[in-house]
Amino acid sequence: MLAQLVVSGIAQGVLYALVALSMTMLYRATTVVNFGHGDLVMGGAFAVYVFVVYLRLPYLAGALIALAVLFGVGVAIHQGLMRRIMTGPHLAIAMMALAVGYALRGGARMLWGREVLPFPRIFPDRAWAIGDVVVTSDNVIVSGTVLGLMVVLLVLFNVTRIGRLLQAVFQSQRGAALIGLNVDGVHRLVWGAAAALAALGGVLLAPITLLYPDMGVWVLVRGFAAMTLGGFGSLPGAVLGGLILGVMELVLGAYLSTAFIDISAYVIVIAVLLLRPDGLFGRQVVVRV
Amino acid sequence: MPGAAPVSVVRVPTLGRWVFLLVPLLVLPVPFLVNRYIQYVLNLILVYVLVGVGFNIVIGNLGQLAFANVALFGLGAYASGILVVHAGWPWWTTIVPAGLIGALAGILASLPALRRIRLFYLAIMTMAFGELLRWIYIRAEPLTNGSMGLAVPPPVLLGLRLSSDRSKFYVFLVLVVVVVLLTSSLLRSRFGRAFMAIRDNELAAAAMGIPTDRYFVLAFAWSGFVVGVAGAMYTALVGHVTPEAFNLLELILHFAVVMVGGLASLAGSVIGAIVLTTTPELFRSFPGVQELVLSFVIIGVLLFLPRGLVSLLARRWSVFHERYYRE
């Protein structure tokens, strides 16, 4: 029973981890917490829906184009909106992120109304039993894609030139600017990449769940919770936070009551922050004077 | 900000207390000029004025990323509704209890801040608070009637039934004037100046001898009281309290009232309430368009009027200059 919960929880948690990781990247590079990130996940799901269902492209091609489109959306959000208010107060940036997400949701609702869209089944419908643990092909494909991608990101981040550029900006925007690095270019790139990673969540979710304009809220809350749980700004923390959250949700739901699934993310975050105000893997925040 | 001139040195003309009486006097005849639907929207605006005023204390004046406002609003609304339905109290006697429940919840929401939880950590904790409450509203069926919502009979004031929206308008107007006047006094006093000292530099404020913890609790408590009263008004206006009215979307709306109107500005909260209540009503029958227009309004204000719509007034009349907000 517990083993099954852990396996299913991880399959769920990789999606939270993906959202949390992309939000954390964005936060580290630009200090923006994107409260509209869930709606980029929704955007990815609806984009792949358009390409696969309306334009009859194969799933893989549709998925890649959807990611490219959302990359563009991310760059546009930075260029057109965020860049202009970056020097303003935190509250204005938070409001802007919420408003952008709200606009995306409004756009989806205008086009598709309140109906819930089913997506054709793409992944093979299979399941394997290992002992008494059942693993479905959905689990394998989603977790495999996300975990594989994380390995690729880890390598890119530590080996390539762009990776080192990113690390410099993560450490200090001012320092990176002082030594002549193109910080604005990095911001643009990271906005695009973060939006594309969020969209990947949507692309992977689309064949598994139903599509509706508000689907992002649910993901944003979990992603944000995972990010906080892992310690705000920590990349490995975001991934671990997502996995822990996914498992804990199912475990609490199974052993306490299924009613807790809706709020266990919140309960876990409150409990962790009261005990460890900087998250599980976070460092003490330095006070700026 | 270190090195900034002390506020008291700069003498800017202030909005005299008379505006708090003049503006309400000017709107007195309005209910006789409009139809029932517009009257309902006007009443809703009055509810959201208090929602904005209360929220502004915590995010504008105290400068914290605390998003418990919908929780406070919902508790006020449910407290009033439950007292009317289950305890049989007349509505007007539930106004102060709803405010007090809001204040208590505000104090509860300030506790993480006292544990030095700040910024985004505080944001998610306070958001979680609101979502936990919404979950409780759904589960506590004997009290709240669950997700069906609690039907509340028309409000009663001193034995009079306020069944028309026009009569509610006058009661709401009096409530708003009283609460805004009290808030204005609080913000002008040493307490209010302490809030802003904490916002501008918490460490420096503490070093100056301001007991920051006490002021955190005070700001959250008063904010909770104001928003709790707004909740009681909401119950009287709508007559049907549902958990879905207090979800994260409602939080975006509250936040937008403050940001579109103007941070740390009472006049701004009024303007924000007017704009953000009427805009969705205008586009009520166009799903999607409603959200798009609303977000374009917010984005436009953030880009071109970063200090909110109140700064448009401030350009013309210096009395609208927000004395207490500097960047």
Angle formed at CA B237 by CA B95 and CA B228, multiple of 5 degrees? 35
Position B8 pLDDT exceeds 70: no
* Residues B152 and B241: beta-carbon distance below 8 Å: yes
**A233 or B11, greater pLDDT:** A233
**Model confidence pLDDT, tens digit, residues A9-29:** 999 899 999 999 999 999 989
Across chain B, what does the average pLDDT equal? 88
**Model confidence pLDDT, tens digit, residues B65-98:** 999 999 999 999 999 999 999 999 999 999 999 9
Give the 3-state secondary structure of residue B240. Answer: strand
Q: Does B116 touch chain A (CB under 8 A)?
A: yes
Position B326 pLDDT exceeds 70: no
**Closest of B176, B184, B221 to residue B68, by C-alpha:** B221
* Interatomic CA distance for residues B268 and B49, integer angstroms: 9
Q: What are residue B150's DSSP bridge partners?
A: B241
Tell me, what amino acid is at A194? A
Tell me, what amino acid is at A246? G
User: Which range has the worst mean pLDDT, A37-41, A214-218, B204-208, B245-249?
Assistant: A214-218
The whole-number pLDDT of residue B12 equals: 47
Position A106 pLDDT exceeds 90: yes
Tell me the mean pLDDT in the region A220-245: 89
Residue B15: pLDDT band with limits 50, 70, 90: low
* Residues A93 and A35: beta-carbon distance below 8 Å: no
**Closest of A190, A224, A147, A195 to residue A47, by C-alpha:** A195
Nearest Cα residue in chain A from B109: A270
Q: Which residues on chain B are in Cβ contact (under 8 Å) with A270?
A: 125, 128-129, 132
Position B317 pLDDT exceeds 80: no
**B43 or B321, greater pLDDT:** B43
User: Which range has the worst mean pLDDT, A203-217, B9-23, B254-268, B288-302?
Assistant: B9-23
Residue B2: pLDDT band with limits 50, 70, 90: very low
Tell me the mean pLDDT in the region A165-184: 89
Tell me the mean pLDDT in the region A178-205: 93
CB contact under 8 A, A91 and B248: no
Position B9 pLDDT exceeds 50: no
Residue B10: pLDDT band with limits 50, 70, 90: very low
The whole-number pLDDT of residue B327 equals: 46
Give the 3-state secondary structure of residue B68. Answer: coil
The whole-number pLDDT of residue A51 equals: 95
Q: Domain ranges for chain B, please list them.
A: 34-320
Interface predicted TM-score (ipTM) of this complex, two decimals: 0.90
> Which positions ≥6 away from A231 have C-beta within 8 Å?
A237, A241, A278, A279, A280, A281, A282, A283
The whole-number pLDDT of residue B323 equals: 57
The whole-number pLDDT of residue B1 equals: 42
* Interatomic CA distance for residues A35 and B298, integer angstroms: 15
Position A198 pLDDT exceeds 60: yes
* Interatomic CA distance for residues A53 and A159, integer angstroms: 39
* Residues B34 and B88: beta-carbon distance below 8 Å: no
Q: Which residues on chain A are in Cβ contact (under 8 Å) with B65?
A: 90-91, 94
**Model confidence pLDDT, tens digit, residues B44-71:** 999 999 999 999 999 999 999 999 999 9
Tell me the mean pLDDT in the region B223-238: 97
Residue B322: pLDDT band with limits 50, 70, 90: low
CB contact under 8 A, B123 and A94: yes
Helices B69-85 and B119-139: crossing angle, nearest 10°? 20
Q: What is the CATH number of domain B34-320?
A: 1.10.3470
Give the 3-state secondary structure of residue A128. Answer: strand
Q: Which ranges constitute the DSSP H helices of chain B?
A: 19-27, 36-56, 69-85, 95-114, 119-139, 141-144, 165-188, 190-200, 202-207, 212-238, 248-261, 266-282, 289-304, 310-316
CB contact under 8 A, A267 and B132: yes
Give the 3-state secondary structure of residue A20. Answer: helix
CB contact under 8 A, B327 and A88: yes
The whole-number pLDDT of residue A282 equals: 67
Q: Does B255 touch chain A (CB under 8 A)?
A: yes
Nearest Cα residue in chain B from A282: B121
Position A75 pLDDT exceeds 90: yes
Position B123 pLDDT exceeds 80: yes
The whole-number pLDDT of residue A218 equals: 84
Tokens at B321, concatenated: 């200059």
The whole-number pLDDT of residue A210 equals: 87
User: Which range has the worst mean pLDDT, A110-114, A236-240, B77-81?
Assistant: A110-114
Residue B324: pLDDT band with limits 50, 70, 90: low
* Residues A141 and A121: beta-carbon distance below 8 Å: no
Q: Does B203 touch chain A (CB under 8 A)?
A: yes
Position B3 pLDDT exceeds 50: no
Question: Residue B76, Cβ neighbours under 10 Å: how many?
Answer: 35
Q: Which residues on chain A are in Cβ contact (under 8 Å) with B296?
A: 103
**Model confidence pLDDT, tens digit, residues A137-147:** 888 999 999 99
The whole-number pLDDT of residue B104 equals: 97
Q: Which residues on chain B are in Cβ contact (under 8 Å) with A259?
A: 139
CB contact under 8 A, B204 and A228: no
Residue pairs spanning A and B at CB distance below 8 A: 125
Q: Does B295 touch chain A (CB under 8 A)?
A: yes
Helices A2-30 and A37-49: crossing angle, nearest 10°? 110
Tell me the mean pLDDT in the region B285-304: 93
Tokens at B80, concatenated: 């009033």
Tell me the mean pLDDT in the region A163-180: 89
The whole-number pLDDT of residue B224 equals: 97
Tell me the mean pLDDT in the region A109-132: 84
CB contact under 8 A, B288 and A106: yes
Q: Which residues on chain B are in Cβ contact (under 8 Å) with A262?
A: 135
Tell me the mean pLDDT in the region A244-269: 85
The whole-number pLDDT of residue A21 equals: 94
